[in-house]
């Protein structure tokens, strides 16, 4: 069985698997490895303030001649729009915008002929980006690691699929949030999605820029060990919009400050200590972004092997005959 979908046709890829553009960890080597295996790797441009143009330039170089895309946190591009122009000069295979109004950037991107992927967390946001001209819509559920909102993946994805179908537009919908193996890919396809975007599973890939201890914590954890909060945004001094929080592994820092966010926001010494811990990779304090799919991650593996196994598992699952 070959999993050919609207997504694979539009992007010219073999498998309907996308790498989430995780800021700071989805670098050029990881993106290239996913693309080489037949999916599409997206370099994580992040919020463009904490990463910046030098990082983006370096990671495109690390991808070599491999065809990759790039993604940005949309609300932050207002303060550093030149990072988007830098990415476009590399002629990425696709450009993804998440968490903010895509309207100011879509015309600029679409004039280049580069497909625009817009990630949404609600049906209302999906309608908006469809009207604005998104070429691909990623419906992200709250099970996802890192930043997200409230809707769960299972009901959100088919709702977005049905809305797009009712519009008469031929725009692929990609499922995101909680996917880490081939059963998830098969389920997403059955929901009407044209593929999946996976973050946490690749967060623990060999080529990920996450520190080794962070990867091992993902492997050792359960979805029960994750939680959504604003604790790390406060500690980072981040300006993330109120409606978004982040799913991370529980650690000593979250146990100390969850429910005490107001006190944390005014404790300069703790915030300064958090920055040192983050720089040093001390994960009893620093965040490890991880989604509820961590139960399905049992080893740190090459990204190419992850893609191949996910696709093979999905093909096997879809080929089975079920009786009631």
DSSP 218: H
Residue ranges in the chain whose pLDDT is less than 50? 324
Buried b (16+ CB within 10 A) or exposed e, 148-186: bbebebbebbbbbbebbeeeeeebbbbbbbbbbbbebbb
CB atoms within 10 A of CB 126: 25
Q: What percent of the chain shows pLDDT beyond 90?
A: 81
User: What's the pLDDT tens digit per position in 17-47?
Assistant: 999 999 889 999 999 999 999 999 999 987 6
pLDDT of residue 324: 46
Query: Which class would CATH give 6-208+298-319?
Result: alpha beta
Instruction: Tell me what percent of the chain is helix, strand and coil, each rounded to the nearest 5.
Output: 45, 15, 40
pLDDT of residue 50: 62
Mean pLDDT of the chain: 93
Domain residue spans of the chain: 6-208+298-319, 212-280
Q: For residues 307 and 17, is the Cβ–Cβ distance under 8 A?
A: yes
* Whole-structure pTM value: 0.94
């Amino acid at each position: 069985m070959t999993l050919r979908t609207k997504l694979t046709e539009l992007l010219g890829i073999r498998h309907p698997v996308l790498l989430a553009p995780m800021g700071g960890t989805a670098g050029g080597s990881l993106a290239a490895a996913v693309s080489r295996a037949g999916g599409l790797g997206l370099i994580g441009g992040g919020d463009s303030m904490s990463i910046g143009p030098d990082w983006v330039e370096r990671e495109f170089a690390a991808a070599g001649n491999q065809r990759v895309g790039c993604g940005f946190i949309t609300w932050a591009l207002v303060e550093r729009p030149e990072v988007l122009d830098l990415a476009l000069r590399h002629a990425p295979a696709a450009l993804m915008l998440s968490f903010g109004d895509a309207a100011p950037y879509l015309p600029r991107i679409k004039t280049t002929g580069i497909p625009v992927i817009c990630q949404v967390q609600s049906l209302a946001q999906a309608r908006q980006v469809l009207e604005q001209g998104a070429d691909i819509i990623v419906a992200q559920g709250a099970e996802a690691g890192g930043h997200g909102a409230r809707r769960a993946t299972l009901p959100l994805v088919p709702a977005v699929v049905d809305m797009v179908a009712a519009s008469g537009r031929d725009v692929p919908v990609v499922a995101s949030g909680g996917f880490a193996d081939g059963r998830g890919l098969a389920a997403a396809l059955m929901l009407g999605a044209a593929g999946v975007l996976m973050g946490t599973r690749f967060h623990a890939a060999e080529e990920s820029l996450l520190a080794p201890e962070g990867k091992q914590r993902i492997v050792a954890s359960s979805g029960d060990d994750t939680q959504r909060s604003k604790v790390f945004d406060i500690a980072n001094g981040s300006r993330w919009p109120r409606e978004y929080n982040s799913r991370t592994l529980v650690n000593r820092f979250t146990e100390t400050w969850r429910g005490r966010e107001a006190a944390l926001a005014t404790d300069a010494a703790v915030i300064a200590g958090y920055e040192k811990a983050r720089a040093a990779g001390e994960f009893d304090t620093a965040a490890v972004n991880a989604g509820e799919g961590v139960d399905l991650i049992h080893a740190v593996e090459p990204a190419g092997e992850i893609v191949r196994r996910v696709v093979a598992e999905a093909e096997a699952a879809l080929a089975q005959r079920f009786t009631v």
